[in-house]
Chains A and B, each alone.
Chain A
Amino acid sequence: MAEQNQPQIKKSVIKLSITVVAMFGFGFALVPLYDVFCEVTGLNGKTASEATTYQANGIDESRTITVQFLSRTAKNAAWQFKPEMNSIQVHPGEMKFVKFYAKNNTGADAVAQAVPSVSPGQAANYFQKIECFCFNQQPLQANEDVWMPLQFYVDPELPEDVTELTLSYTLYDVTATTDS
Chain B
Amino acid sequence: MTTVTDTMDNVDAQHDHHADHKMTGIKRWLLTTNHKDIGSLYLWFSFIMLLTGGAMAMVIRAELFQPGLQIVEPDFFNQMTTVHGLIMVFGAIMPAFTGLANWMIPMMIGAPDMALPRLNNWSFWILPFAFSILLASLFMEGGGPNFGWTFYAPLSTTYSNGSTAFFVFAVHIMGISSIMGAINIIVTIMNMRAPGMTYMKMPLFVWTFFITAYLLIAVMPVLAGTVTMVLTDTYFGTSFFDAAGGGDPVLFQHIFWFFGHPEVYIMILPAFGIVSTIIPAFARKPLFGYSSMVYATASIAFLSFIVWAHHMFTTGMPLAGELFFMYCTMLIAVPTGVKVFNWVATMWRGAITFETPMLFSIAFVILFTIGGFSGLMLAMTPVDFQYHDTYFVVAHFHYVLVTGSLFSIFAAVYYWLPKWTGHMYSESLGRWHFWCSIISVNVLFFPMHFLGLAGMPRRIPDYALQFADFNKWVSIGGFAFGLSQLIFLALVIKCVRAGKQAEAKSWEGAEGLEWTVASPAPYHTFATPPKVD
Contact = CB atoms under 8 A, between A and B. Distances in A.
A40 interface: no
B222 A23 contact: yes
Contact of A177 (B191, B245, B248): B245
A16 B187 contact: yes
Interface string A12-37: 11001101111111111011001100
B245 A19 contact: no
B217 interface: yes
Given A27-B222, A30-B255, A172 B243 contact: yes
Given A24-B225, A27-B224, A2 B115 contact: yes
Per DSSP, are chain A's interface residues mostly helix, strand or loop, or mixed? helix
Contacts of A76: 158
Contact of B529 (A1, A12, A26, A113): A1
Nearest to B315: A44
A20 B248 CA distance: 26
Nearest to B237: A177
B258 A44 contact: no
Interface string B188-228: 00111000000000000000000000000111111111100
B153 interface: no
B115 A115 contact: no
A21 B221 CA distance: 7
A24 B248 contact: no
Contact of B240 (A23, A31, A177): A31
Given A12-B186, A20-B179, A44-B250, A121 B243 contact: no
B244 A121 contact: no
A49 interface: yes
Interface in B302-350: 316-318, 321
A12 B158 CA distance: 41
Interface in B472-531: 526-529
Nearest to A41: B318
Contacts of B254: 30, 34
Per DSSP, are chain B's interface residues mostly helix, strand or loop, or mixed? helix
Given A20-B217, A177-B245, A26 B222 contact: yes
A122 interface: yes
A121 B243 CA distance: 16
Contact of A27 (B182, B225, B244): B225
A5 interface: yes
A34 B183 contact: no
Nearest to A77: B244
Nearest to A27: B225
Contacts of A1: 111-112, 192, 526-529
A122 B318 contact: yes
Nearest to A46: B248
Interface in B129-164: 158
Contacts of A173: 244
Interface string B237-251: 101100111101011
Contact of B222 (A24, A38, A121): A24
B113 interface: yes
A74 interface: yes
A8 interface: yes
A34 B248 contact: yes
A2 B529 CA distance: 10
A82 to B, nearest CB: 19
B454 interface: no
Given A5-B115, A17-B183, A12 B244 contact: no
A68 interface: no
Contact of A5 (B192, B222, B226, B321): B192
B529 A13 contact: no
A9 to B, nearest CB: 5
A20 B221 contact: yes
B370 interface: no
B226 A27 contact: yes
B255 A16 contact: no
B218 A19 contact: yes
Given A12-B187, A16-B183, A27 B221 contact: yes
A19 B217 contact: yes
Interface of B: 111-113, 115-116, 158, 179, 182-183, 186-187, 190-192, 217-226, 229, 237, 239-240, 243-246, 248, 250-251, 254-255, 258-259, 316-318, 321, 526-529
Q: Which 7 A-B pairs have the closest CB atoms?
A: A27-B225, A172-B244, A23-B221, A24-B221, A27-B222, A5-B191, A12-B187
26 contacts: A1-B526, A2-B111, A5-B191, A5-B192, A8-B190, A9-B187, A12-B186, A12-B190, A16-B183, A24-B221, A27-B221, A27-B222, A27-B223, A27-B255, A27-B258, A28-B229, A30-B251, A31-B229, A34-B254, A45-B316, A49-B246, A115-B246, A172-B243, A173-B244, A174-B245, A176-B237
Given A43-B321, A44-B248, A172-B243, 4 more contacts: A9-B115, A26-B221, A45-B316, A75-B158
